[in-house]
Structure 1
Amino acid sequence: MTTECLFCELKNQERIIGECDLTITFIDNFPASPGHTLVIPKRHFATYFEASEAELLAIGIAVQKAKLILDKEFTPDAYNIGVNNGEMAGQSIKHLHVHLIPRYKGDVENPKGGVRWILKDRANYWDNKNKA
């Protein structure tokens, strides 16, 4: 890990809810919803596409374990799992981090389309698919 990275210098150990040889799992400091959690690799690199096979497996397992913890503590109705890869995708910290975002009934008016709403003009494909 590098000392110039916010995640490599993770200070608040109380936020950590899981760890293995390759990953750390912790509650986000600026949660989008109650229980918003991040899974990061211990090795410093920027994007999902740079992860080794072992790191990808460890991240996947960490996400599954985090879900079990969040299910018990927050009882969400659903989850979004997301990764921002690169500045134009919204990545602000250049250390791979996987968001596990608990979702709750009523947290948005209509959740249909989920992550597609990142590009609002293209999100509602179901009403527009027959207009071409």
Structure 2
Amino acid sequence: MKCIFCYISAEKYLAENQYFFVIQDIHPITKGHSLIISKRHTTDFFSLQPEEMIALLDISKIMRNLLDEELHPEAYNLLMNCGSAAHQSIFHFHLHFIPRYHKDGLSLRAINAKLRSISF
């Protein structure tokens, strides 16, 4: 089954590896908010294959290094919603990679509320 993430052009990629690509979130919560998306259409984290889980760690480190160099955030939130009760709205694996700054004024509750408000 194809979805909106299945049609993203490689021209939009900020980074990629064999199993994942990264794009800027179209509704960023903070500067640098990105999405790590599986190239294979699969529902959520629990449907990833072992080799994909390893590649997810690798691309996460690549993104942290890129964002550390470019934006100098002070921390990160990595968020995944798995299932409709967890407010997953696009059933294609993606991880919200959110740089955090001491003065961004956001709590984890506020971030979750913003993510729910922009669900498709």
One fold, TM greater than 0.5?
yes
Of structures 1 and 2, the one with the larger relative CO (CA 8 A, separation 6+) is: 2
1:79 and 1:7 mapped to 2: Cα distance? 23
2:42 is the alignment partner of 1:41 = no
1:71 and 1:90 mapped to 2: Cα distance? 29
1:28 and 1:98 mapped to 2: Cα distance? 11
Q: CA deviation at 1:75?
A: 1.1
Q: Secondary structure at the match of 2:6?
A: coil
Q: State which of 25, 41, 50 in structure 2 corresponds to 1:53.
A: 50
1:34 and 1:87 mapped to 2: Cα distance? 27
2:97 aligned partner, one-letter code: L
Aligned pairs for 1:52-71 (under 5 A) are: 52-71=49-68
Structure 1 residue ranges without an equivalent (≥5): 120-132
**Larger-Rg structure:** 1
- The number of residue pairs the alignment matches comes to 113
Q: Report the TM-score when normalising by structure 2.
A: 0.84
1:34 and 1:11 mapped to 2: Cα distance? 22
Partner of 2:8: 10
Sequence identity, in percent? 33
Q: CA deviation at 1:12?
A: 7.1
Structure holding more helix per residue: 2
Q: Secondary structure at the match of 1:38?
A: strand
Displaced runs of 4+ in structure 1, greater than 4 A?
Answer: none
